Amino acid sequence: MPAVVVVGAQWGDEGKGKIVDILAEHADIIARYQGGNNAGHTLVVDGRKTVLHLVPSGVLHAGKVCVIGNGVVIDPGVLFTEIDELRRRGCLPHDGLLKISDRAHLIMPYHRAIDQARERLRGEGRIGTTGRGIGPTYEDKMARIGIRVADFLDDEFFAAALRSTMEEKNAYLRAMLKEQALDFDGILAEYRGFRARLAPHVTDTGVYLHDALRGSRRVLLEGGQGTLLDVDHGTYPYVTSSNTVAGAACTGTGIAPQQISGVIGIVKAYTTRVGSGPFPTELNDALGKKLQQDGDEFGATTGRPRRCGWFDAVVVRHAVRLNGMRGLALTKLDVLTGLDPIRICTAYDFDGHRLHEFPASSAVLRGLRPVYEELPGWREPLNRARSLDDLPANAQAYVRRLEEVTGAPMMMVSVGAGRTETILLANPFDGH
Ligand code: IMP
């Protein structure tokens, strides 16, 4: 029953897309369990760049089945644009290769309108959401007024549910957010137009995955965002509106905890975050700018520049513990080439105390200072390395030190954007 979860150990954008794409070769099925098109996974295969937002990153491998689990929120217009683009590339040759949960919730135009209007009204205090309607869709799921795929396929049910929900949404948009009401007939017609295309993909993906695992098929469960954006364990309220941690792979796909055989964490060799919120090791100087430029740290979804800083071992230890990470895949090590010294944050200082765990309190997060240790850098390019021994001694020492301070062994090290620019140390599917 090999089901391996891949999850981000920082604030997202760790390079999960590339790692999932590589691991997908060893899997039969690749499933997403939460988030929506707030995610952006950039893949470079044979020099060609593909950005995916909803379809799991395994889609570039011929014959693999991709699953969008019940925990994902789906914007149908975005999904179809992505499928069209993939088909132009010769991927997803038939509908059976993409299965969509009948229990997933749909993102509606009023979710996007509410997300964007709230951010505008928050001004300086904004969360910095992607504006894709993710938060309001999860709110409706919890409020039990969301529209699920299975019910969307039933025209009478859908029209009635949409009418009653839109009365409430339009009142809220007008009175609270000072926005214009949205047109019920227009949205009904637009979404009716999506139905025939969505229907062939829709299935009970929980049953499908369960049967596949009983049949010893290998499943890769792909998380969106990262651990520090988890609604419970992240830097609340500057988080996304779903649980991003490995535990959510069960609730977000319908498989049971004992069916998960391993968790691999993706971690960047430094730290980045998009949007607002605490970021203890942020570099607001020329070094931060250099990391941003050298690492091409611009959001795959919104194009926003990512904030950059040193590797934060407190953050990654938090992620290793919460997710039960068996090992880490380190990405973008090559971006650190030329920096000397390189710093690693190993703890925080707050009010005369040394903190070794990531704090919950916003006030503590605002007031703490990172404690750093320094390691010597290297100047050699890394992208030709295919084993740890091929790396310059100082780069090897950096990787080994990261293993020590995070408490997790390295399973992969990525030294460039391409599929082949990777050092594979252990395969998470081995032994299962
Ligand atoms: P939302 O998910 O659009 O509600 O945005 C909430 C926060 O999560 C914002 O800070 C976003 O920038 C961040 N976020 C959402 N998705 C991603 C992602 O895939 N990578 C990095 N940050 C993300």
Q: pLDDT digit string (tens) for 59-95?
A: 989 999 999 999 999 999 999 999 999 999 899 999 9
Nearest to 383 by CA among 332, 309, 346, 341: 332
Residue 266 has pLDDT above 60, yes or no: yes
Q: Catalytic residue at 230? A: no
Residue 428 is predicted with a pLDDT of: 80
Mean pLDDT of 156-166: 97
Tens of pLDDT, residues 284-340? 999 999 999 999 999 877 888 999 999 999 999 999 999 999 999 999 999 999 999
CA of 384 to the centre of ligand 1 (A): 33
| C-alpha–C-alpha distance, residues 271 and 291, integer Å | 10
Say if residues 132 and 38 touch (Cβ distance below 8 Å): yes
CA of 127 to the centre of ligand 1 (A): 9
What is the model's pTM? Answer: 0.96
Residue 432 is predicted with a pLDDT of: 55
C-alpha distances out from residue 45 to 31, 57, 254, 395, 431, Å: 20, 12, 31, 25, 28
**Cβ of 73 below 6 Å from ligand 1:** no
Reported as a pLDDT band with limits 50, 70 and 90, residue 156 is very high
Tens of pLDDT, residues 84-142? 999 998 999 999 999 999 999 999 999 999 999 999 999 999 999 999 999 999 999 99
**Cβ of 295 below 6 Å from ligand 1:** no
Residue 408 is predicted with a pLDDT of: 97
C-alpha distances out from residue 290 to 55, 297, 335, 372, Å: 32, 10, 9, 19
For 343-353, b/e burial (b = at least 16 CB within 10 A) is bbbbbbebeee
Nearest to 68 by CA among 84, 89, 52, 87: 52
**Cβ of 254 below 6 Å from ligand 1:** no
What percent of the chain clears pLDDT 70, i.e. is strictly above it?
A: 99
Tens of pLDDT, residues 32-60? 999 999 998 877 777 888 888 999 988 98
Mean pLDDT of 361-369: 97
**Cβ of 275 below 6 Å from ligand 1:** yes
- Residue closest by Cα to atom 19 of ligand 1: 39
Annotated catalytic residue, options 41, 53, 201, 233:
41
Residue 431 is predicted with a pLDDT of: 60
**Cβ of 224 below 6 Å from ligand 1:** yes
Residue 58 is predicted with a pLDDT of: 86
| C-alpha–C-alpha distance, residues 107 and 148, integer Å | 10
Q: Catalytic residue at 155? A: no
Which residues are registered as beta bridge partners of 424? Answer: 412
**Cβ of 10 below 6 Å from ligand 1:** no
CA of 274 to the centre of ligand 1 (A): 7
* Dihedral sign from CA coordinates of 351, 357, 360, 365: positive
| C-alpha–C-alpha distance, residues 69 and 379, integer Å | 44
Mean pLDDT of 7-35: 94
Say if residues 220 and 31 touch (Cβ distance below 8 Å): yes
CA of 224 to the centre of ligand 1 (A): 9
